[in-house]
Amino acid sequence: MSGVRKRKLMAEINVVPYIDVMLVLLIIFMVTAPLLTQGVEVELPKAGAEPIDSADSGGNADPLILSVDSSGNLYLSVGEDESSPVDSERVITLTSVVLERSPNTQVLVNADSRVAYGKVIAAMVLLQRAGAEKVGLLTDPAAIKKLEAG
């Protein structure tokens, strides 16, 4: 038996397949990430307001957002097609349905800085007629930091 050598077990892991999988996942995420950010293009007004805490919404992570673009068109973040304008009656109907199902839903207005003040107020009145007790306004805090730094 002195002529028979025992084979030593190889205890190395080949990581090349894992690297291949990671690269494929990286490419998939890089392609799909820009597709996840969709919505209405608005230029938010600049204000130094504090961010809204998601705990204030009573555990509901998705707020109801009514967008007003520079032309005064209304877009609601619920419904079949969020990127097409809706009329005021549709805003009231959809908002009241959402607030009946989840009364703690945050209601926010996302208005372009170039839109007339009266149109923003009219949008807020529509939301209040639908049953929203509190309506918040979205702003662009990054622009304020740039103004303060410069």
Residue 129 has pLDDT above 80, yes or no: yes
Whole-angstrom CA distances from 106 to 22, 44, 59, 61, 64 are 38, 18, 10, 9, 6
Spacing of C-alpha 97 from chain mean position: 20
Can you give the pLDDT at residue 27? 92
Tell which wins on pLDDT, 18 or 9.
Answer: 18
114: pLDDT strictly greater than 60: yes
Separation in Å, CA 77 to CA 23, 32, 94, 110 = 34, 20, 10, 10
pLDDT, the chain, mean: 79
The domains of the chain, with CATH numbers, are 54-148 (3.30.420.270)
pLDDT on residue 118: 87
| pLDDT exceeds cutoff 80 at 46 | no
Which SS3 state, helix, strand or coil, does residue 4 take? coil
